[in-house]
Structure 1
């Protein structure tokens, strides 16, 4: 019988494999090695990906695997931005903002129910969402909304905040003013606060409210995270500013950041490695916002700036004594972290740490008593949980009508994930309940 042969120069030609032949019989030695290398590399990449993505999360958190994937994406972008920043190419905040602006679903500007326009209030850029529903000539309610992002990230004009403005305007039949305040690192404290205050005071002028057909008695202020910080600080100033005739009816604070004197509250200890806001990241945001030396991070991490021998914080301590302000069930097994000897120069260089414009939780009780009806949303798996809960208690003690909305399965930023590209059940619930509260109380 004539033996069939294959031209040696036809390297691409592979003999057919019969049913009785195994894979190894149909491949040359080189091809078998290549296949083993390919499978090994694939397995290693899969293991590395799983190792990078997986982080231990409590079973009570909303959709943990989805949160792991989301957190891995955030860490990946942050790592690339950190490298670019270290090499001097671009600031980390610019990298993160670019990703946020381009990865989130771009919102269309206007719709049949909501008219969207960009303008400026007292030189501050704002995006205005005006409901076109309701009867012609009917006065509407309004909300000044301040976006979060550690005073360095986010935009009123893109992604979640554009979609949120449209939804609020439509569902509340309202006018929503989303403020495009200046961001770190181009500015530092108190510039973002001053932007929000200027825009809010401008909007509260009778002639401006009349132009937008807004009822002067139905204006609120709201914000999430760092935006909640700015909303709370501006609400305090508006409450005591005699030059403002129209006062705010409500304030709604979404997982707000309210103090930088204790980074070891029970929620900071419990959630220090919890997505999406790690404890060290929150401290870094504070240092950037205040224009501080980044090397202070470790000192703040262990509360060296509020040690017993740092006399500047003696008066402030009682205003954030979580052993008194938090219910025992939330204190759990955690103990206060109080150093005997600390670094007084931190407060000397950063007096804003004791400034209520930066840390609204430090306001005096008589000022708190003048604040409007308040809503505070908190999440169990969030380093900022106790900031919101301590403020809730202090407002209660001051006689303010205040309501708390706490999510046992929530994490920081969860309300932002009520829209594309990542839906979380807690995001949908928190957004619906937030809008429902405004609908009832504004």
Structure 2
């Protein structure tokens, strides 16, 4: 009996050591964040073990688990018409608010999801709900780009997918099809999607053949450089839960198809 208590105490101490992380005092509900991080680390380490055993690529397994968990969530699409389309060979999901009687043309947002160029999808509940809310609250046509992911393709194919889909949407005939005002098109993205959105904007600004360009760029915690991983932000968030520095570096390495 005593040995059992010693074993339980040791297991509890190991679990606490695995879960606990020192967090800034400004973080609300720190234990929830620690538990979320511990869960994510455990899943990632399991995926890496599968990769090490050469059973599958760790990012494929991780994305599969994300997709499986996501199917358990219900996604509401009331008042917004959601359709899947293909823009110049790239899959997209289009969110259209209902037309109003006194309205002629709508504003629009091209949205590029995050996920380290390797995870998530325009069809997952997280981004599906986000784009639905944007379409509803802004009364805008939202085009969510379903670019191909690592390890299926690596840099620069994700950028090429995002650029092709955006250029196709910016064609006057396509904008007219969706009743979009050519002078009120924005481009946005989060994390790795912010990286792609910024790169697409830069390319469109230099392309002399593009007659319609985005009016607004809205980047949400974008990943903008891979030259220096010792900037103040990386130093302050070296061991931050969910996305510590070494995980971000690994995403870059996989994106560039390099060896760790």
Structure 2 CA distance, aligned partners of 1:193 and 1:223? 13
Match of 1:226 among 192, 199, 212: 192
Match of 1:242 among 202, 205, 208: 208
Indicate the SS of the match to 1:218.
Answer: strand
Note the alpha carbon deviations across 1:53-74, whole angstroms, 9 max, x for none.
Answer: 1111111224321111110110
TM-score by length of structure 2 reads: 0.94
Structure 1 unaligned runs (5+)?
1-32, 295-442
Does residue 224 of structure 2 align to residue 261 of structure 1? no
Q: Report the Cα offset of residue 119 of structure 1.
A: 1.1
Matches within 5 A, 1:7-26: none
Does residue 241 of structure 2 align to residue 282 of structure 1? no
Structure 2 unaligned runs (5+)?
none
Indicate the SS of the match to 2:230.
Answer: coil
Note the alpha carbon deviations across 1:311-359, whole angstroms, 9 max, x for none.
Answer: xxxxxxxxxxxxxxxxxxxxxxxxxxxxxxxxxxxxxxxxxxxxxxxxx
Give the equivalent residue in structure 1 for 2:257.
291
TM-score by length of structure 1 reads: 0.56
Match of 2:52 among 86, 94, 101: 86
Please provide the CA RMSD for this pair: 1.6
Check whether the contact 2:195–2:224 (CA below 8 A) recurs between aligned residues.
yes
Give the equivalent residue in structure 2 for 1:214.
180
Specify whether residues 276 and 213 from structure 1 end up closer, same or farther in structure 2 by C-alpha distance, changes over 3 A only: same
Q: RCO (CA 8 Å, sep 6+): is it higher in 1 or 2?
A: 2
Structure 2 CA distance, aligned partners of 1:136 and 1:70? 47
Give the equivalent residue in structure 2 for 1:203.
169
Check whether the contact 1:101–1:159 (CA below 8 A) recurs between aligned residues.
no
Q: Report the Cα offset of residue 141 of structure 1.
A: 0.9
Work out which of the two has the higher radius of gyration on C-alpha atoms and give 1 or 2.
1
Structure 1 CA distance, aligned partners of 2:213 and 2:135? 21
Specify whether residues 122 and 136 from structure 1 end up closer, same or farther in structure 2 by C-alpha distance, changes over 3 A only: farther
Check whether the contact 2:238–2:244 (CA below 8 A) recurs between aligned residues.
yes
Check whether the contact 1:134–1:173 (CA below 8 A) recurs between aligned residues.
no
Check whether the contact 1:124–1:195 (CA below 8 A) recurs between aligned residues.
yes
